[in-house]
Amino acid sequence: MTSMRKAGISTTDIYNLMADQSGGFEKINALKVDMYNEMTKKKQKEQSDAKAVLVYLKGLGSGDAGMFWSHHADEEGKLKQLFWADGISHMDFQVFGEVLAFDATYRKNRYGCPIVILVGVNHHCQTIVFGTAVLTNEKEESYVWVLEQFLAAMKGKEPSAVITDGAPAMRNAITRILPKAHHRLCAWHLLQNAQRNIGDPNFVKGFKSCMLGNYSVGHFKKKWFQLISDLNLEDNPWVQGLYEKRHMWATCMMRGKFFAGFRTTSRCEGMHSQIGRIVRSRNSLLEFVQYFERYVNYMRWREVDSDYKSVVGDAVLQTNVRALERSAANVYTRTVFLKFRSWLNSGSVVKVAALKETSSCIIYSMYRYCKPGKLWYVAHDEKMSTFRCSCQRMETFGLPCDHIIGLLVHLDIDVIPDSLVLSRWCKAAKEGMIGNSESSFKFWESIVLARLGSLVMRSSEMFNLGCESMEDYLDTVDMMAKHVEKLKAKRIAENVAAVEEDNVTPIDVKNPDVVRSKGCGGTRSVIGNKGKRKCTVCKQEGHNKTTCSQNKRQKVSAGSGSVAAGKGARGADSGL
């Protein structure tokens, strides 16, 4: 039952599974309530949930040289903030840490503490975890503390871009701790805010076009002011504030900034959704951390599987520029190659309209087939073998645009130049980190179970041979007893050393208070809050709107007027 609980299976499902395996509920020598009782006894033995988490993280660090964890307690000794990142996260950030996205999620532990997961994207376009934090509030100082611990875990390396939902506390913390990073606002959250604040479908549609359209700066401004003028929103304060922050959401204003394909915090939302399948609001902090680490290990196993698929077999060539396609297939991972191949197809119909030689490079004017009116400009330095396009897609995503590909075809270049290959999208992206002791891999629990299975298989063969004669039986028993005593003595020595270390650096922290999640009503009571509800009319405690004497007097006064006025008053009250 404990093993299945670690895998995220509910107690009811465990009970049903045992009944199915044994042939009926009557074959189980326990009731469902017995399972719950055993769980309760186990939790009662735990003196402090917060202390158990810290001890668990400290244990992970014993097998991982790159493990980093930090916590902060309040004046009463209660856990207030917790952050951790293991050695693999540190290694991933060194390779893929240009872009960072994070968001908070709720209802993942019994204390209601927000969970902040800092994620990025690897060379297979998969979500990877850089660090995780547990907070008791979402104030600016809390996010400042998280980012400070994050930089300490990553040895001071900073991301070049950060994507969030635009919460003021996050925005201010990023400005203070990561001033050099370009802060991008989530496109999905912006569209939701536009729907709530304006509510006009025409504005939402036009705003989406302005935000995601690949326009020039002048064309963007023209479309924006035309949209505002058509809908008479010149004096709307929310629209004015939105335009002042255009460098944080307009694609044309961020051209040339590398975001690795990020436009939203959807990767964070996807992580929250997946974790929500195995974590419940009733779980303790220790259970959450254990379940979360298990899911992160699963994510890393998917990366290993993708690495294997990228190096095994050859891609089927499908475009008209087979040489360039083969070159890309040999360099990029399978997922990135499939994205790049669509640009190969469109690049084959891009032609050269004219060229202009300068002292440092040759500037080619490129146009798409049958569309000579729209031009892009590609600068080519023959000596350095570098290419730079006016669309700046290479700088934004890290893959050559179709305009550069069209020029490669025009120049009869059959191998993608090294200047156009970003190492973070390549199959060998992580080879430079192999052998780094500070980024050593921690042992997964699955490896321990694999060792157990191997020992069981070998011991079974030894038992079959050792029981054939009395002499072999006695030798086998004697050998096993000596080896068991040797292993016991080794474990005792390790435990004594661990206890002595704990005595030197004791961990004493209390459980956090139950906190309120974002979105809770202002007068609603929460678990652990003994305050009474307040009336929404007179703001006094002890009663509600229905029994409020002031509300009753207002109704009587309104009813003394005409019937029409009474209906109007009730309608207004209903509207509120």
- The domains of the chain are located at 2-45, 49-303, 322-432
Residue 575 clears pLDDT 70, i.e. is over it: no
User: pLDDT-based confidence at 97, cuts 50/70/90?
Assistant: very high
Q: What is the pLDDT of residues 403-422, one digit of tens each?
A: 999 999 999 999 999 999 99
User: pLDDT-based confidence at 531, cuts 50/70/90?
Assistant: very low
User: pLDDT-based confidence at 227, cuts 50/70/90?
Assistant: very high
Pair 534, 524: CB distance under 8 Å: no
Calpha distance 378→375 (Å, rounded): 10
Residue 171 clears pLDDT 50, i.e. is over it: yes
The strand pair at 182-185 and 161-164 is best described as parallel
Calpha distance 426→416 (Å, rounded): 13
Residue 246 clears pLDDT 60, i.e. is over it: yes
Q: Give the mean model confidence (pLDDT) for residues 355-364.
A: 92
pLDDT score for 145: 96
**What percent of the chain has pLDDT above 90?**
46
Query: Burial, 387: exposed, middle or buried (Cβ in 10 Å; 0-12, 13-18, 19+)?
Result: buried
Q: Give the mean model confidence (pLDDT) for residues 209-225.
A: 92
Return the SS3 of 381: strand
Residue 527 clears pLDDT 60, i.e. is over it: no
Beta bridge mates, 118? 102, 131
pLDDT score for 50: 87
For the chain, the distance separating the N- and C-terminal CA atoms, rounded to the nearest angstrom, is: 51
pTM: 0.74
Q: Give the mean model confidence (pLDDT) for residues 46-51.
A: 74
Q: Which of 269, 275, 314, 281 is nearest to 298 (CA)?
A: 275
pLDDT score for 28: 85
**What would the DSSP string read from start to end of 242-278?**
HHHTGGGT-GGGGTT---TT-SSSHHHHHHHHHHHTT
Q: Give the mean model confidence (pLDDT) for residues 499-507.
A: 52
Query: Where on the phi/psi map is residue 410: left (φ > 0), alpha (ψ -120 to 50), or beta?
Result: alpha
Q: What is the pLDDT of residues 270-302, one digit of tens each?
A: 888 888 877 777 788 888 898 899 889 889 888
Q: Which of 143, 557, 113, 500 is nearest to 292 (CA)?
A: 113
Return the SS3 of 355: strand
Q: Give the mean model confidence (pLDDT) for residues 240-247.
A: 94
Query: Burial, 273: exposed, middle or buried (Cβ in 10 Å; 0-12, 13-18, 19+)?
Result: exposed
Residue owning tokens 């969970």? 115
